[in-house]
Chains A and B, each alone.
Chain A
Amino acid sequence: MNRSQRTAVITRLAERLRERGSWSGETHVQKVVFVMQELLDVKFEFEFILYKHGPFSFDLRDELSSLCADNLLKYQAQSPPYGPKIGVLPDAKALQERFPKTLGSHTAKIEFVCDRLGNKGVAELERLATALWVTTREGTGDSVDQRAKKLNKLKPHVSIDEAKAAVVAMDEVIAAAKKL
């Protein structure tokens, strides 16, 4: 994917997340893009590390800033105390129209993540995305309990019970992704 194609996919994803009722703040976009790249093999080529609320990409953060500067996205402030939402601006629509082939080949993957993650909040996305991180990068072959312990060690504010539930839920998403 070149930068323009990637922009078309990211802005379409942000749009679909909003349509599915997601709060669609930066954390929501970060975690969903991580799942697309890690699980669905979408070639965004962002480097993710474990950081704020789980897997996080500074490259993606820079990219979102850059799309705001290009008048394609906008961080929309909300009433106190809530964090901002990412809105998609009309220029992004025009750009998407120029990349029908790229968007066509990513539609099923965008819908897959929006179906499964679009209604989740930050806390749940943090747990799920970290569960995916633990499963694919640190615990391939580990049991649910082992992975839950690892998740809890990485994110001490996530309890063991919450971590277990997240690992089980993410296993289901992984199984569904294999059928895609």
Chain B
Amino acid sequence: MAKQLHEIRDPIHVFVRLDSDERRVLDSRQFQRLRHIHQLAMSFLVYPGTTHRRFEHSLGVMELAGRVFDVVTQSGAVTDEVRKLLPEIDQADGLRYWRRALRMAALCHDVGHLPFSHAAEKELLPAEWDHERLTRVLIESDEMKEIWDKVTPPLRPIDIVKLAIGPRKASDLKFSVWETILAEIITGDAFGVDRMDYLLRDSHHAGVAYGKFDHFRLIDTLRILPSPPSGESDGSDEPALGIEGGGLQSAEALLLARYFMYSQVYFHPVRRIYDIHLKDFLQQWLPGSRFATDADAHMGMTDNEVMAGILKAAREANQPGHDPARRIVHHEHFRVLYTRNPDDVKKNERAGGAVFDAAKAKFGEPAVRRDVYRGKGGLTDFPVKMKDGRIASALSVSSVLPNVPVSTFEYVFIDPAREAEATKWLDEQREEILKPVKEEAP
């Protein structure tokens, strides 16, 4: 008899276990492509260990999604109040279906990623496209439908899409409360297992400790809870993913891990400028300056094809993308000219933009680049079940969470050949450049 349960060794979760239906997804060319997509783009040029791929991350997300599902639906973990609003929890067949759909969604949540997991999708894909839309196209493709149909009971591709990309990116689809919570298990800002896995995995490979937290404890204490009140006798009964009070410290550790990983790894300025050089290269190298969005073309484009293109373009001056390719290969990246700081933002809320515009005017557009990331995801709040049974806002019971800084970064980079001149110029012109715009009185 053929083996029904398969085990894969994993540096983070020790073993990832999957059954034969999941194995069919693993063996699909859509999923196998992820073996050739670096999780952290060209971060390996700064952190040499970060050569891991979306493939193992996706397996890890599936493993964690299954664990979270089992914890939050176990009998005894759900209150009568929540049970009344989520009848799905009491339907054994339904639960089996949704557990399967959730793990499949977790497995497939990244299949649409561009080579090097590139974030500059606006510039590298046609209008209205992003990697989530590509993920959806692949999950709904005839090839994948064959896999979903072979599962007992067959899985509806639309359910997998909803859970894999969540309500933000599937805004044309209607989500029930149950589906919203399941999607939150994968994509959620607070406890999404996508985030849990990438923090643990990226930190492991980067060789930094910042991304580690006690995910075992955190997952064990996850619960579906009513929303916390805001104001006396005011609150919505709508359920959401929250935690038992005993898990609060591990939730705090997760959110601190996110903050530190953003500061130390994801927004390291040299990593960011390599991303920009890569984008510049791709815009010159790709036909029409954009990635194709049909499934076959997407499947045929991985980091390997792009890296071969970079190496060739770096060697040959007449190749499209020669300059950015050369900068990547020979580490001749642009240098930081300006970094966002609170004093400047106080003077002018668009300080980085003002420096960028002035630098472009002075040194010419090809010599200047800008990178902006504005804090996302809001201040993380979620329901906490306290010892006395009351539901509280996490921000009201934690002294850490309200003080976790919002990660916001902005850099202006300059061609190394102009660095000294530009630094002197910025020192002299800084106050003038940072003068804010004022509207005329009406």
Contact of B402 with A84 in the complex, beta carbons under 8 Å: yes
Chain A residues at the B interface, C-beta cutoff of 8 Å: 3-4, 7, 23, 25-28, 47, 49-53, 58, 61-62, 64-66, 68-72, 75-84, 91, 95, 98-102, 104-105, 121-123, 126, 154-157
Contact of B378 with A64 in the complex, beta carbons under 8 Å: yes
Compute how far the CA of A23 lies from the CA of B232 in the bound complex, rounded to whole angstroms. Answer: 10
Compute how far the CA of A23 lies from the CA of B304 in the bound complex, rounded to whole angstroms. Answer: 54
Contacts of B227-258 to chain A: CB distance below 8 A: 227-231, 233-238, 240
Contact of B379 with A84 in the complex, beta carbons under 8 Å: yes
Chain B residues at the A interface, C-beta cutoff of 8 Å: 85, 167-168, 171, 174-175, 177, 180, 227-231, 233-238, 240, 342, 345-346, 349-350, 374-379, 381, 386, 390-393, 395-397, 401-402, 405-408, 436-442
Dominant secondary structure at the B interface: loop
| Given A3-B350, A70-B349, A156-B177, residue A101 in contact with residue B379 (CB < 8 A) | no
The answer, among A69, A84, A91, A157, for a CB contact under 8 Å with B393, is A84
Contact of A121 with B346 in the complex, beta carbons under 8 Å: no
CB distance from B330 to the nearest CB of A (A): 35
CB distance from A32 to the nearest CB of B (A): 14
Contact of B437 with A4 in the complex, beta carbons under 8 Å: yes
Contact of B378 with A26 in the complex, beta carbons under 8 Å: yes
Contact of B396 with A72 in the complex, beta carbons under 8 Å: no
CB neighbours of A83 from chain B (8 A): 228-230, 381, 393, 395-396
CB neighbours of A102 from chain B (8 A): 439
Contact of A75 with B402 in the complex, beta carbons under 8 Å: yes
Contact of B378 with A7 in the complex, beta carbons under 8 Å: no
CB neighbours of A126 from chain B (8 A): 236, 238
Compute how far the CA of A46 lies from the CA of B417 in the bound complex, rounded to whole angstroms. Answer: 41
Contact of B396 with A71 in the complex, beta carbons under 8 Å: no
29 examples of A-B residue contacts, CB within 8 angstroms: A23-B230, A23-B231, A26-B378, A26-B381, A50-B174, A50-B175, A52-B227, A62-B376, A66-B374, A68-B375, A69-B375, A75-B395, A77-B395, A77-B402, A78-B393, A79-B396, A80-B386, A80-B392, A82-B229, A82-B231, A82-B392, A83-B229, A84-B402, A98-B437, A100-B442, A102-B439, A122-B231, A157-B85, A157-B238
The answer, among B174, B230, B238, for a CB contact under 8 Å with A82, is B230
Compute how far the CA of A26 lies from the CA of B180 in the bound complex, rounded to whole angstroms. Answer: 19
Compute how far the CA of A28 lies from the CA of B406 in the bound complex, rounded to whole angstroms. Answer: 21
CB distance from B259 to the nearest CB of A (A): 12
CB neighbours of B405 from chain A (8 A): 69
CB distance from B267 to the nearest CB of A (A): 13
Contact of B346 with A71 in the complex, beta carbons under 8 Å: yes
CB neighbours of B402 from chain A (8 A): 75-77, 84
Contact of A65 with B346 in the complex, beta carbons under 8 Å: no
Closest to B405 in A: A69
Contact of A98 with B439 in the complex, beta carbons under 8 Å: yes
Closest 3 CB pairs of A and B: A121-B234, A81-B392, A83-B230
CB neighbours of A101 from chain B (8 A): 439-442
Contact of B375 with A122 in the complex, beta carbons under 8 Å: no
**Which of B174, B379, B402 has its CB near the most chain A CB atoms (within 10 A)?**
B379
Closest to B237 in A: A157
Contact of A52 with B346 in the complex, beta carbons under 8 Å: no
Contact of A49 with B439 in the complex, beta carbons under 8 Å: no
Closest to A84 in B: B395
Contact of B375 with A66 in the complex, beta carbons under 8 Å: yes
CB distance from B251 to the nearest CB of A (A): 15
**Which of A25, A77, A126 has its CB near the most chain B CB atoms (within 10 A)?**
A77
CB neighbours of B407 from chain A (8 A): 69
Contact of B436 with A98 in the complex, beta carbons under 8 Å: yes
Contact of B231 with A51 in the complex, beta carbons under 8 Å: no
